[in-house]
């Protein structure tokens, strides 16, 4: 693989750029459009499933917590690198509390009323992505992450030991 | 939200006839399941074999449905497709719910 790692930002045959309004149905439609294109870049079904989960969680999180019912756009940029598919997702909604990403730690729950109905999203994002990075700049949230796409890998889990 | 209901004795099997339970439909799913829970049964098996994708909102809705059930009346899950299975496993909900490979006849446990 000789694809230059420094191609970020440049026009690139493997780069995809899209934007969508911040609502749950637009997220669904965007995933339906992106998935066949991602399938060409991510050969392993397991990796592709992970990519769909992470993207859905990241985009729906923006709809629910950054825009909270307000109108706003979400921009998705992806570039192909030797390590996988690098995503940059930008929105103009509210920043994360304390300008930090949620830990995604699961609250230990048993089969009781204390079992959480939420908080699963960041746990999934953190488990299935790599190089997760958040910046707040000029009223914009910018989240970047890498979804591994090992061309030789047939099965197994991402980012797990 | 399309749900198909089938009975095996006093076990109600609810098959979700949708390919996705995501943020766009999680509330609809929860509301439709509320009606299922309101019908008398000894237990409910939620058949997810047609569901290719479930996100954290969908998972939260499944947990919420379980909380609607009375004590001693379980909500069990059947037919996890690969990506849905991954979500259950990574969030450790596979340890909270009883999960059957299939909900169909021939599964002695689902009778």
Specify the pLDDT at position A105: 82
Residue A108 is inside which H or E element, if any?
none
The ipTM estimated for the assembled molecules is 0.90
Mean pLDDT of all residues belonging to chain B: 93
pLDDT along chain A (161 residues), means of 10: 40 77 95 93 93 97 94 95 94 94 75 64 95 96 92 49 38
Q: In CATH terms, is domain A19-148 a member of 3.30.565.10?
A: yes
Q: What is the pLDDT of residue A158?
A: 46
Which runs of consecutive H residues, i.e. helices, occur in A42-156?
A: 45-61, 121-128
Question: Which residues of chain A make contact with B63, given a CB cutoff of 8 A?
Answer: 115-117
CA distance B87 to chain A (A): 7
Which is nearest to A59 in space by CA: B63, B62, B24? B24
Whether residues A53 and B87 touch (CB distance < 8 A) is answered with yes
d(CA B60, CA A56): 14
**pLDDT tens digits along B17-37:** 999 999 999 999 999 999 999
pLDDT of residue A141: 98
Which ranges of A94-150 does DSSP label H, i.e. alpha helix? Answer: 121-128
Q: Which residues in chain B show pLDDT less than 70? A: 105-111
What confidence score (pLDDT) does residue A103 get?
A: 86
A4/chain B closest Cα distance in angstroms: 32
Confidence (pLDDT) at B106:
47
Cα end-to-end distance, chain A, whole Å:
25
User: What pLDDT was estimated at residue A117?
Assistant: 66
Shortest distance between the Cα of A64 and any Cα of chain B, in A, equals 9
Hey, what CATH topology would domain B3-106 get? Answer: Transcription Regulator spoIIAA (3.30.750)
- Residue pair A134/A142 in contact (Cβ under 8 Å)? The answer is yes
**Domain ranges across chain A:** 19-148
Chain A hits for B55, CB-CB cut-off 8 Å, are 53, 56-57, 60, 121
Sequence-ordered alpha helix ranges (H) in chain B: 26-38, 56-68, 82-90
Phi, psi dihedral angles at A75 (to 5 degrees):
-115, 135
Residues of B in contact with A28 (CB under 8 A): 20, 22, 24
Q: Which residue has the tokens 């049964």?
A: B41
């Amino acid at each position: 693989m000789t694809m230059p790692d420094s191609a970020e930002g440049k026009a690139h045959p493997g780069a995809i750029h899209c934007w969508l309004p911040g609502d749950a149905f637009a997220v669904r439609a965007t995933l339906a459009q992106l998935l066949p294109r991602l399938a060409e870049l991510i050969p392993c079904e397991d990796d592709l499933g992970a990519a769909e989960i992470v993207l859905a969680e990241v985009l729906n999180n923006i709809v629910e917590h950054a825009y909270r019912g307000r109108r706003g756009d979400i921009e998705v940029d992806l570039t192909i690198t030797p390590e996988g598919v690098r995503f940059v997702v930008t929105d103009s909604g509210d920043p994360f509390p304390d300008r930090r990403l949620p830990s995604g730690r699961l609250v230990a729950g048993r089969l009781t009323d204390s079992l959480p109905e939420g908080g699963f999203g960041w746990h999934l994002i953190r488990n299935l992505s790599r190089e997760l990075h958040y910046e707040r700049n000029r009223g914009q949230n910018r989240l970047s992450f890498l979804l591994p796409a090992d061309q030789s890998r047939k099965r197994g889990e991402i980012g797990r030991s | 939200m399309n749900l198909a209901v089938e009975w095996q004795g006093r076990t109600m099997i609810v098959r979700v006839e949708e390919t996705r339970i995501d943020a766009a439909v999680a509330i609809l799913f929860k509301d439709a399941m509320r009606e299922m829970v309101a019908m008398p049964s000894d237990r409910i098996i939620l058949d997810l074999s047609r569901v290719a994708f479930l996100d954290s909102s969908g998972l939260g809705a499944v947990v919420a449905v379980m909380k609607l059930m009375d004590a001693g009346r379980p909500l069990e899950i059947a037919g996890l497709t690969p990506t849905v299975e991954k979500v259950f496993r990574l969030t450790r909900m596979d340890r909270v719910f009883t999960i059957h490979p299939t909900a169909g006849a021939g599964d002695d446990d689902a009778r």
